[in-house]
C-alpha cells in the first residue's frame, strides 16, 4: 500500500481558516513570514498560530532567503517545518537545517531541464523538496504566483527522487496533476483563494477532497 498523499495548504493567516484546513483533513499548514507577500504573518501572530496547530496538524513556516536571526526567531516558535522559498544554495540549506534543528522543506522553481537537474543536489540536503513554478520575469516575490509549470519537464527526474508538487494547482486540476506527475504530496496557496491572500473554505475543502480521491 502506497503512503497516503500529503496535502499542504499554504498562506493561512487566521485561526478560523486553520480550523477549516484541519477539519478538511490536510496534513500540513503553511504560514508565510515574508513582508512582500499578501499572506504575510508577523512573528507575534506566528507564535499563536503554530501553538494552535500543534498536535493537530504539521505546521510549516515559509521563509525567503532568511538571515540567521530570522531563522533562530522562527525556530524558537517550534514549527514542525521551515520552508525555504528563496535563492538559497544547497550549502545554505544545509547550514539552516543544522542551525534551526527543524525539518527543512526546500522549494525549487522549475522552468527548464537545467532546473530539474538541480533537484537531486537539494534533495540531498533538505528533508523534502517542493517543486514549484518559476515566477514570471520581474515578479517581486518567489513562487508560481498561480501558474503551473510544464509537468513534462519532470520526465527527466530520477524516479527515486520523491517530491511535493506546487504551482498553479487548483481543485480542478489537482487530480490530473497527481495522476500525471505522481508526487508524494501537493501544496496549494492561490489556487484556493478568491483574491490574493483571501482563502475560501469551500475551495480548500474541494481541493483536499479531489486530491484525496486521486491520491
* Model confidence, pTM: 0.93
What is the sign, positive or negative, of the torsion defined by CA atoms of 169, 173, 176, 180? Answer: negative
Structural domain contains residue 174: yes
Residue of 194, 192, 144 whose CA lies nearest to 166: 144
Question: Domain range holding 161?
Answer: 6-214
Structural domain contains residue 203: yes
Within 13 Å, how many C-alpha atoms sit on residue 26's CB side? Answer: 30
Structural domain contains residue 61: yes
Query: Degrees (nearest 5) of the Cα angle 35, 22, 183?
Result: 80
Q: How close are the terminal C-alpha atoms of the chain, in Å?
A: 12
Structural domain contains residue 110: yes
Assign 64 to helix, strand or coil: coil
What is the CATH classification number for the domain harbouring 36? 3.20.20.70
Structural domain contains residue 65: yes
Number of residues that make up the chain: 215
- Asked if 56 and 86 touch (Cβ cutoff 8 Å), the reply is no
Please list the pLDDT of the chain residue by residue as tens digits (215 residues): 467 899 999 999 999 999 999 999 999 999 999 998 999 999 999 999 999 999 999 999 999 999 999 999 999 999 999 999 999 999 999 999 999 999 999 999 999 999 999 999 999 999 999 999 887 666 555 544 567 889 999 999 998 999 999 999 999 999 999 999 999 999 999 999 999 999 999 999 999 999 999 98
What's the burial of 93, exposed, middle or buried (CB within 10 Å: 0-12/13-18/19+)? buried
Structural domain contains residue 43: yes
β-pairing, 185-188 with 128-133? unpaired
Structural domain contains residue 16: yes
- Residues with a catalytic annotation lie at 10, 132
Structural domain contains residue 1: no
Q: How many domains is the chain built from? A: 1
- At residue 144, the pLDDT reads 47
Amino acid at each position: 500500500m502506497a503512503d497516503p498523499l500529503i496535502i499542504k495548504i499554504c498562506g493561512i493567516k487566521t485561526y478560523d481558516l486553520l480550523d477549516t484546513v484541519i477539519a478538511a483533513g490536510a496534513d500540513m499548514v503553511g504560514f508565510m513570514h515574508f513582508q512582500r507577500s499578501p499572506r504575510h504573518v508577523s512573528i507575534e501572530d506566528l507564535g499563536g498560530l503554530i501553538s494552535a496547530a500543534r498536535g493537530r496538524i504539521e505546521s510549516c513556516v515559509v521563509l525567503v532567503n532568511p538571515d540567521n536571526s530570522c531563522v533562530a526567531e522562527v525556530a524558537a516558535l517550534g514549527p514542525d517545518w521551515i520552508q525555504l522559498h528563496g535563492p538559497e544554495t544547497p550549502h545554505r540549506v544545509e547550514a539552516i537545517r543544522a542551525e534551526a534543528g527543524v525539518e527543512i522543506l526546500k522549494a525549487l522553481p522549475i522552468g527548464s531541464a537545467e532546473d530539474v537537474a538541480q533537484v537531486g543536489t537539494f534533495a540531498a540536503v533538505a528533508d523534502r523538496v517542493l517543486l514549484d513554478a518559476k515566477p514570471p520575469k520581474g515578479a517581486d516575490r518567489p513562487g508560481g504566483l498561480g501558474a503551473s509549470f510544464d509537468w513534462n519537464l519532470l520526465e527527466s527526474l530520477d524516479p527515486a527522487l520523491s517530491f511535493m508538487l506546487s504551482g498553479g494547482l487548483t481543485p480542478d486540476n489537482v487530480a490530473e496533476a497527481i495522476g500525471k506527475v505522481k508526487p508524494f504530496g501537493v501544496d496549494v496557496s492561490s489556487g484556493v483563494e478568491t483574491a490574493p491572500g483571501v482563502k475560501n473554505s469551500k475551495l480548500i475543502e474541494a481541493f483536499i477532497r479531489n486530491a484525496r480521491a486521486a491520491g
